[in-house]
Structures are given as C-alpha cells and as structure tokens.
Structure 1
Amino acid sequence: MRRVPDGYPHGPAAALAAGAALEALEALDEPRAIILVEGVSDQIAVDALARRLGIDVERTATLPVGGAQGLRRMLHTIVARFPDARLGGLYDIAEADVVRRALEDSGLLQHGGRPQDAGFFACAADLEDELLRACGPALVEECLAVNADLTAFRRLQQQQEWRGRPFDEQARRWIASGARRKLRYARILVDAAPLERMPHPLVAALEWARQT
C-alpha cells in the first residue's frame, strides 16, 4: 500500500533521475515522442494517465529533467540524438521564462513564442496542485483513507501552522513532506480523478505526443 510504483527511482536515486534519464535516452530505439517533465512524480503521473486512457506509449518516453533548470541540457541532447522525435512536456508556471529560453535556444520555439506552441504546457503551481483540485477534498480524503494515511493527514491539519488553511494547501504540504509519499500519490490521484476533470496540462502533453 505504501510502496512507490514499481520501476521508478525513489529516495536518493530520485534526485539523480535527470542523469538516469540521459542514460535512458541512449537505450531508446527511435522513439516517436518524448515527454519531458520536471521530476519523477510528474513522470509517474503522465505514465499513469497514459495507461488509464489506453494510449499506446510503446515508443513514447517520459523523462524527468531534474527541474526546469535541467531542461536546456536535455533538449540539446535529444535534438542531436533524435531529431525526428516529437517533443513535449510539462512545467510549473513559475518556470515559464526558463522553459521559454531553453526552447528558443534549442531551436524549438521562435523568439517571443509560447511554450505551448512547442508542446510544453504549464501547471498552475505544480502537477500535484492540479491533481488535488481535479479530485476535490472529498475524493482526496477518500484516497487518504483507502491508503491508511488519513490519520497522519489529520495530524497535519491540527498543527497550529496549518489549522484553518485551505484544504488544497494542507494536502499539498502533506504530500510534499515525504519523498515516497509524493511519488505514491502521483499515481493514486491520477487513478482517482474523474477524466472530465483531469488537469488540462497533463492531458494536453499526452495529446501532443499522440500527434505523430
């Protein structure tokens, strides 16, 4: 119940995911599309939605870049190695300028263009925030209860610092306070959210990758 989804790094290894992603690129066999995300939890969420939608991702790779600052290096590597692959991605809105400059520098976006024109879609705060709002408080608490985490979450809600704060802020803080927790709930929330409320950036990135 409390395991990180199989096949994904966690703990100290998660912090080195960008380096592992560069190694993974070497093993790819002419991928049709590559979706770049900031971290491993985002990678898990993209893969989970792809499975839920029954999207064929046999030749689509989802790779974490280790934060927006790692995007430029990854883009240069991919463009050089897989010039025909369709690129897309997710990023946090606070990193919009960094993402835009990396895309321009890699020749994937004209100066003054929008990242979404190159297949990169912004999350309002981050993907966890988007997923929490997609689920809503009642469904999030149901997920916590099913996964034996509701009592721990209630303890955070009772802390003076968090008492009375908006539910989404409380839940986001609780999920982010544990590395394994963040990875686990990336899949749990994607599996729980109604498809019609699924975060637009997440859906848009997958739809972009399908246009191959």
Structure 2
Amino acid sequence: MTTQRTGARSAILVEGASDRAAVLQAARLLGTDLTAGGVAVVPMGGAMSVRRFAGELGPRGAGLPLCGLCDAGEVRFFERAGLAPESVFVCRPDLEAELLRALGIDRAEAVLEEEGDLRLFRTFQQQPAQRQRPVEAQLHRFLGTTSGRKQHYGTALTAALSAGDLPAPLRGVVLAAAAAV
C-alpha cells in the first residue's frame, strides 16, 4: 500500500479484514467518513506484520500518524513496532467478544437470523464439542468457522449497535484516527 495511491493522511492498522469491516461500520455509526477524511484502514494479515506496516506507513516511511486496533494477546506486537500506547486500542480478549458483549446474546442471535444463519448456528450448537459451552462462547466460535464469516459479521454485528453502544476500542480508534488528520 502506498500513500500516493490512496491519498491517505493517517492510517489505522488492523489485524485483518473483519477488523477493517467493523472499523468502517463503526465510523459510519459515528458519522465519520474515514476515506473522505484521508484515513486508510489497513488490514495487515495478522498482528505480527505490524512492524512492517508501521515502518512503511509511519514516521520512518510515509510519515503518517498511525493508530492500531488489536486483540489483547497481540498488543505486544504493536508496542514493539513503536506505536504509542495511547494510539493502540485493545479489544479484550478480541473484537468478536467485544461486539458480542455489546450486543448481548439475544441481539446477536437476532443478527444471525436477519443474515440467514440462525438455523446453521442452532445446528452448530448441537455438535458434541459445543453442547456444554455457554451460548456466548458458541457464538464466538461460530463466527470463525467459515471463510469470510468473521468479515461479514464484523459489519453486521457492528451495524446492529447504536453509536452509543459501540465497544470502547472501536469508538476510540475511529475518533483518534479522525482527529489525527
């Protein structure tokens, strides 16, 4: 990714496509057009790539102000890459858990129903490995079982929230990036 090609004046580094989808939807809920504001939301293909992306896009590269969104278990990679602690927004333990907590089980299942996946989820719940797990854990696991599902639900689950219900890391990274340009 080059800033000449994107016209970016700031960047949010995220682990993957599902994080990008959630950030873009959160920005819509907050009334912020990140693209028009010159903020690129960059999926890195995993947190271990943050050093490369920070080097390319940050102060030593393109000179962009950087923010990051990551899972609690990945924050060390962002720290080692030199991102300031106040510019890294941490999901505990991860983005899917943050979204499921914000929605609650009933609202999350309503989103699955709207998206045509509730029947599949009910079948998933009957698998021997899932039967004794709490519903929130089942939902969390279900989101990662099929290619593209996490990305799809990054948007759908976030869209089901109001701006006031957004998890703090999502709200924080959008507002910090928008303020940096």
Secondary structure in structure 2 of the residue aligned to 1:82: coil
Counterparts of 2:4 and 2:134 in 1: how far apart (Å)? 44
Give the C-alpha shift of residue 138 in structure 1.
Answer: 0.5
Of the candidates 3, 16, 37, which is equivalent to residue 39 of structure 1?
16
Counterparts of 2:125 and 2:139 in 1: how far apart (Å)? 9
| Residue 96 of structure 1: aligned partner | 75
Counterparts of 1:141 and 1:56 in 2: how far apart (Å)? 29
Of the candidates 16, 27, 47, which is equivalent to residue 5 of structure 2?
27
| Residue 13 of structure 1: aligned partner | none
Q: 4+ runs of 1 displaced by more than 4 Å? A: none
Per-residue CA deviation, residues 27-78 of structure 1 (Å, 9 max, x unaligned), is 122x232101000110011111112221032111100111111000000101
Query: Conserved in 1, the CA contact under 8 Å of 2:26 and 2:166?
Result: no
Give the C-alpha shift of residue 26 in structure 1.
Answer: 4.6
Secondary structure in structure 1 of the residue aligned to 2:130: coil
Where structure 2 has 5 or more consecutive residues not aligned to the other structure, the ranges are none
| Residue 111 of structure 2: aligned partner | 143
Query: Conserved in 1, the CA contact under 8 Å of 2:47 and 2:77?
Result: yes
Query: Conserved in 2, the CA contact under 8 Å of 1:134 and 1:194?
Result: no
- The yes-or-no answer on 1:190 pairing with 2:158 is yes
Per-residue CA deviation, residues 155-175 of structure 1 (Å, 9 max, x unaligned), is 111111111311111001111
Q: How many residues align?
A: 177
One-letter identity of the residue aligned with 2:151 = L
Secondary structure in structure 2 of the residue aligned to 1:136: helix
Counterparts of 2:163 and 2:26 in 1: how far apart (Å)? 9
Query: Conserved in 2, the CA contact under 8 Å of 1:135 and 1:194?
Result: no
Q: Which has the higher contact order (CA 8 A, sep 6+)?
A: 2
Secondary structure in structure 2 of the residue aligned to 1:160: coil
Secondary structure in structure 2 of the residue aligned to 1:89: strand
| Aligned pairs for 1:1-212 within 5 A | 22=1, 25-29=3-7, 31-57=8-34, 58=36, 59-79=38-58, 80-83=60-63, 85-103=64-82, 108-109=83-84, 115=85, 117=86, 119-212=87-180
**What TM-score results when the alignment is normalised by the length of structure 2?**
0.91
Alpha-carbon RMSD across the aligned residues, in angstroms, is 1.5
One-letter identity of the residue aligned with 1:188 = A
Secondary structure in structure 1 of the residue aligned to 2:116: coil
Query: Conserved in 2, the CA contact under 8 Å of 1:68 and 1:95?
Result: yes
One-letter identity of the residue aligned with 2:11 = I
Give the C-alpha shift of residue 86 in structure 1.
Answer: 2.1
Give the C-alpha shift of residue 82 in structure 1.
Answer: 2.5
Percent identity between the two aligned chains: 37
The alpha-carbon distance between structure 1 residues 98 and 155, as it changes in their structure 2 partners (threshold 3 A), is: same
One-letter identity of the residue aligned with 1:87 = L
